[in-house]
Structure 1
């Protein structure tokens, strides 16, 4: 697998994109993107588990069942959530507008929205914006698309890799957004992946949903699961490799690339948490089972007390042990070891469930790094899991105290 640093989603065969300003944001910044694909692409998606689902999610849950998916449109600045029948009517109008402009079927269009909840879309702006976005589709619009889906994100999140399957070079690329309202239960975010791999819808769906469990479902910024979160992948088959219809070597190569892609995009979302000053990685080792390892890692990464301690560079390991205790995973607290890592430095701060003498100054220096790793050894079995998150700062409160205004 190769990482293609200067490439974007439009470097995938058959993919075009645009990112434009349609006047949906007061700032005048880019606020709508369109992604289209040639061929007869298949797609898979995972949606929020929040019982309060935005209008686009409700429609997409039906559209993703269609055999082919040829276009995606995303607006930022307005979530079209908690908007009732009018919201559902508007999302269907959005899909039809794309379908008419690109001469595809309405069911082949996925629509997403992100932004403020409870406000109706201004369709007098949305419809012309969609038409403009469709007219601006190009082979160079990948970066603009990544910018257009941002809300409180401080940078665009994009990644492209390539790998070989069936003697053909396959390209896999993605863009994502997410900064606040992120919690491990299909992490609150939007993620759109595209590839020219030739694969059946059934096998694509299996690989994607497996990957999501170890990536987007393992990040947390603030413990809130949104009404709009969604991750999806579209595969158009234009690489012309022998079609993947069952497990095998090519399928495993794809799964490896997919795992890398989703994990790295998930980490970018965690790193860009609203007001965050550092990325935190929590690795739980030697758990009795995989589910228990994941429960422990997620409990620590979503603990607000622990996140506050990291913001203050306070080596308060008791908060970590406390989070493990309420994770509901099976563990013996008297066996737990805890260490911190940062840019090559390591310090153990707890052993067998109790504190050890450690250099407070060194611990603080590690916790002041931009990326910090927490290593937790349960000494119960052979399963491991990793979760990612960020610290909780004063700025998080400032950003979310004035989100609507």
Structure 2
């Protein structure tokens, strides 16, 4: 991925529908008590699609249906999603229910079933109540503009406290290209991937194989660089739809402006990833760890993710305790190549470790810094040129309460 900065602009407004030719809706069908629990995203034309999915060996029925649909010809025109039920570990009936959601949506839109993806999120191991789902699919009415976008993004949520949306534009071949995304994710966040659903839309023209390469590259740097609690779920899906309606020349890695597309996609994915980490269940703070001077970028990301995933680091940040010993311990057990005598650590703008040894600092100053909603940790290894980022959140009393009573 190129490191040259490109010209792009973040859009305020309705985000997921900012690219040309997309519409959406979200409604309450009855899987949850009150809030939206069914969403539909539609492209005017079949869109080339790329997908990344959970690495958990146990995968929910909707993932099988969506993967099969994508394999047919690398295109989707619609995605039907529900929250309130993961449709995972539900056997033959769960698979039949996922196919039914696909077929009902296709019939509603007058398109082939293999152009419909399915995604679900919620409680694992409970059979889907299809009566409200069937009624909801018949009643849902996608539209263009702000309202449809808001309703769709709300339909994704489970324990999330906020919707997560972002969008950027850039210019390629003299055409304005827009990339936008919405996501859900709050707990069980340990992507490769985690309890998250992410949907990214673009009006750029990109062939499916190159779209897949782009999404995989960006995912490794963003969605796979966040952690909330170290668990990996059964349903996680990120889908990228490119409908080509911006009418640019077909993008490939050989295109002179391919880097613009990649960096704009990266900006969208990174925004969503950070929003997920910040909205971790019970969280009060976003933790960002930057590692520089590692043997490789891969090792830098491994160390960064180990630090933000450490329960001891997370609880120290929650308690506003500048306990750098927990940070350096996480660096040491990350499995990456390190020289204990070369490590330097900063918390905010304060150096706490230099060349592996403690540095005097103001506990009061750092305590005040750690009260901020975003905390930055920088680890310098002096081992090479590798660098990487990861994001997580603090671990609070509320996290325990939320997950102790999730089903009840």
TM norm structure 2 = 0.96
The answer on whether the counterparts of 2:42 and 2:142 sit within 8 Å (CA) in structure 1 is no
Counterparts of 2:46 and 2:95, CA distance in 1 = 27
Are residues 1:335 and 2:342 paired?
yes
* Residue matched to 2:405: 402
Counterparts of 1:111 and 1:124, CA distance in 2 = 17
* Residue matched to 1:177: 184
The answer on whether the counterparts of 1:340 and 1:373 sit within 8 Å (CA) in structure 2 is yes
Counterparts of 2:191 and 2:253, CA distance in 1 = 30
TM norm structure 1 = 0.96
Assess, with a 3 A threshold, how the Cα gap between structure 1 residues 112 and 364 changes in structure 2: closer, same or farther: same
Secondary structure of 2:160's counterpart equals coil
Are residues 1:84 and 2:80 paired?
no
- Give the counterpart of 1:3 among 4, 10, 13: 10
Tell me how far 1:225 sits from its aligned partner. 0.7
* Residue matched to 2:3: none
Counterparts of 1:73 and 1:37, CA distance in 2 = 12
The answer on whether the counterparts of 2:225 and 2:305 sit within 8 Å (CA) in structure 1 is yes
* Residue matched to 1:385: 388
The answer on whether the counterparts of 2:322 and 2:367 sit within 8 Å (CA) in structure 1 is yes
Tell me how far 1:40 sits from its aligned partner. 2.7
Are residues 1:375 and 2:382 paired?
no
Which shifted more, 364-373 or 352-361?
352-361
Secondary structure of 2:249's counterpart equals coil
The answer on whether the counterparts of 2:54 and 2:191 sit within 8 Å (CA) in structure 1 is no
Tell me how far 1:250 sits from its aligned partner. 2.4
Assess, with a 3 A threshold, how the Cα gap between structure 1 residues 295 and 246 changes in structure 2: closer, same or farther: closer
* Residue matched to 2:40: 34
* Off by >6 Å, runs of 4+ in structure 1: none
* Residue matched to 2:169: 162
Tell me how far 1:65 sits from its aligned partner. 1.8
The answer on whether the counterparts of 1:161 and 1:257 sit within 8 Å (CA) in structure 2 is yes
The answer on whether the counterparts of 2:121 and 2:195 sit within 8 Å (CA) in structure 1 is no
Paired residues for 1:248-287 under 5 Å: 248-287=255-294
Tell me how far 1:246 sits from its aligned partner. 4.2
The answer on whether the counterparts of 2:289 and 2:390 sit within 8 Å (CA) in structure 1 is yes
* Residue matched to 2:102: 95
The answer on whether the counterparts of 1:187 and 1:218 sit within 8 Å (CA) in structure 2 is no
Counterparts of 2:189 and 2:121, CA distance in 1 = 13
Are residues 1:61 and 2:58 paired?
no
Secondary structure of 1:64's counterpart equals helix
| Residue segments in structure 2 that go unaligned for 5+ positions in a row | 1-7
Assess, with a 3 A threshold, how the Cα gap between structure 1 residues 242 and 136 changes in structure 2: closer, same or farther: closer
* Residue matched to 1:361: 364
How well do the aligned residues superpose, as a CA RMSD in angstroms?
1.1
| Residue segments in structure 1 that go unaligned for 5+ positions in a row | none
When the two structures are aligned, how many residues end up with a matched partner? 399
* Residue matched to 1:289: 296
* Residue matched to 2:130: 123
Which shifted more, 40-49 or 325-334?
325-334
